[in-house]
Amino acid sequence: MKKELINKIKLTPRLQVIADMVRKSAVTADIGCDHGLVCAYLLQNNITDKIIAADINLKPLNSARKTLQSVITGNTTNEFIACNKNNEKQTIKNDKMTAETLLTDGLNGIQKADDIIIAGVGGELIIKIIGDALNKIDFRGNLITPDVRLILQPMTHTPDLRHWLFKNGFNITNETAVVEKNQVYIIIQAEKPLNHVNTANNETLIYGGLTAQKTDKASLLYAEKNKKRLLKIINSKNEKADYYNKILEKLMLLPAYEIRQ
């Protein structure tokens, strides 16, 4: 495993889509970095030369640090210094690339990033992390400025996340569905422009997303899954059944849903 990490990082389909959304040369922060594979891939493939790998838990952060050390120095064992609660921030670098590992909650302690990844957690937690960052303004200003790109992969509450983004001044500029181990995941790319067009009342965007306009296999599978979820609510005699039925009727006119009829 160590030799493979040093030679070539291979990502799962879900992580590959996330990595592909990162802009060239963007200082990238991966929040909840887990084993640090996305960060290591970005460095190894010269997509960026600086990353910030952050996690609230020590075990995955130290795993990420080992992975990053193997890519940057070619060494997984010698001189490895584990992160601990008294040593929250560490830097690994060579003459071409830099990785910072940070033990932190959400975006706390991150001063500057061009692209911010928050993946593999619930939509409600993503909302909290971004919301907390928006509410903390210091002498540098706000971390999330119009030139910052958010790359988000919610495990739950995707419509709630879209709605919150729209209400809080973000535009969803891209959305991709991807299949991994028989599960369909949605990766959202969002930015906070100066001239925001409020789409918080656009129900098809909230519940269907941009993938509703696409006809690739993953988007079609997501549409089918989403349709079944809405039908379950409608058939359960939920007090909002009529509301969700009207949303589904609108969605059924869009390409991904129309094809699946």
Write out pLDDT tens, residues 10-43: 999 999 999 999 999 999 999 999 999 999 999 9
Handedness of CA 28, 60, 18, 15 (dihedral sign): positive
Same domain, yes or no: 140 and 19 = yes
Same domain, yes or no: 71 and 125 = yes
Share the mean pLDDT of the chain: 90
Residue 8 — very low, low, confident or very high, per pLDDT cuts 50/70/90?
confident
Handedness of CA 105, 168, 166, 19 (dihedral sign): negative
Token readout for 95 is 């003459």
User: pLDDT tens digits for 102-134?
Assistant: 999 999 989 899 999 999 999 999 999 999 988
Domain count, the chain: 2
Identify the domain containing residue 220 by its residue range.
203-261
Helices (H) and strands (E) in the chain — how many of each?
A: 10, 8
Same domain, yes or no: 93 and 189 = yes
Minimal CA–CA distance to 223: which of 255, 177, 257? 257
Question: Which pTM does this prediction carry?
Answer: 0.92
Q: What is the DSSP string of 197-227?
A: ---TT-HHHHHH-GGGG--SHHHHHHHHHHH
Q: Which SS3 state, helix, strand or coil, does residue 17 take?
A: helix
At 210, the amino acid letter reads L
Minimal CA–CA distance to 15: which of 100, 119, 113? 119
User: What's the CATH number where 163 sits?
Assistant: 3.40.50.150
Same domain, yes or no: 37 and 89 = yes
Domain endpoint, select from 201, 226, 248: 201
CA angle centred on 200, ends 256 and 108, rounded to 5° = 105
Tell me: pLDDT of 2 over 60.
no
User: pLDDT tens digits for 39-80?
Assistant: 999 999 999 999 999 999 999 999 999 999 999 988 765 455
